[in-house]
Structure 1
Amino acid sequence: MDLYFLTLFPDIINQYFSESIMKRALEDHIIQVHAIDIRDFANNKHNRVDDYPYGGGAGMVMQAAPIIRAIKSIEDYQEIPIIFLTPSGTPFNTEECQKLTLRLKERKRFIFLCGHYEGVDQRVIDRYVTDEYSIGDYVLTGGELPALVMADSIIRHLQGVLGNDESLTEESFESNLLEYPQYTRPQQVEDMSVPKVLLSGNHAQIKKWRKAKSLEITQKKRPDLLKKEK
């Protein structure tokens, strides 16, 4: 699986994939990551890739030409989904993650376009972008973090990335419920003990307790998810 990140800050991308589970996914050749610096496709001596917006206004807009050249540098780019991270995009959630995971398994390659400044020239979006996504109703300084959030969530659904594939089925949101509480050694921390049922060895009772706790926590913190559960 090849993931391409079109960005002004490739070090942000490369650094993220140099640690933990994402690093192992690279080392195990489950994924390959390509951080492509859009500035390399500028056609001026200062590698400038932004300009003032037509019609006036604050900030700068990323120019179309360098981005288009960066896209076209990828072999068979026409066959690859190009994902643009934008506040106006489809909200990214577990359902969308699962859809994108299936698409990645089928298509084998994704391109993430990471915007910056006041945005990207609309003509790039109109001509080349296939999907627009948002990770929340807030604004960040660039598209790198949203792209990494999406990539991380998708990659961990690929077979072999997690040590135990059952981890996915028990996580928050996978069944429209928040996850149950987790405990580890020691049994006693200050005046707090591990619930006795988790020490009982009775797997049926443990499963029942966990489901009840998931429902309780979801009802308290995210009751909107219970509507989906029904």
Structure 2
Amino acid sequence: MDIIELDSLNAYYGDKKILNNINMKIKKNKITAIIGPSGCGKSTLLSVLNRMLEENGGSTRGNIAFKGKDISSYDKEEIRKKIGIVFQKPTPFPMSIYKNLTYAPIYYGTRDKKKLEEIVQDKLKVSGLFEEVKQDLGMSALKLSGGQQQRLCIARALTVDPEVLLLDEPCSALDIKNTAHIEEMLLRLSQEYTIIIVTHNLSQAKRISDYTAFILDGELIEYDETEKIFNNPEDNRTKEYIEGIYG
């Protein structure tokens, strides 16, 4: 089942075209990896999907459907609740771990203390952080390690129960251990959420994704099941990119 459909999508910053005629169908409850060289438009594609591009002075042409409905017909706040995003650099709020995880639920109307405590505990367990921080929920989130902060940010994005989770190179600054934590978490989460991850780490794309899209100079060169993309690419440019990385 497709949850997001892009039809002839073009994205611009001013007069500069960043994405050119992108056509994709994102499968529900699957992990889709987006690969390609720096500056090819990967992060722009994520910002299009939850309508952040327009907040940053960009614009789009073409069609984007979320669950069969034009994305522009959703209120921005509603679409960002349904399609959450986590950035490359961890961005915990300068407040306690507990308040980081209750901020969004309270904003959207949850006031019951017991319910909030359940949300905090559940999302910390999902992120694999609960045992590490359960005695220090009042501690500033800024005191966590980089890997813990990134897992907290993913947990925070899940506190409003989105349907899609966008991740922009969430492991690029992390060590092997923390990267493994996050990859294991994403594999578990894909049973409940649709995940789209931008990554320069082709090994990571192979390990965790069901589908992979290769973007070059703003164009979608190839999009297929991950195994096929890596083992039998149809386009020589995909093959050259993969071989260039592996040397």
TM-score band w.r.t. shorter chain? under 0.3
TM-score calculated relative to the size of structure 1: 0.25
TM-score calculated relative to the size of structure 2: 0.23
Higher alpha-carbon Rg: 1
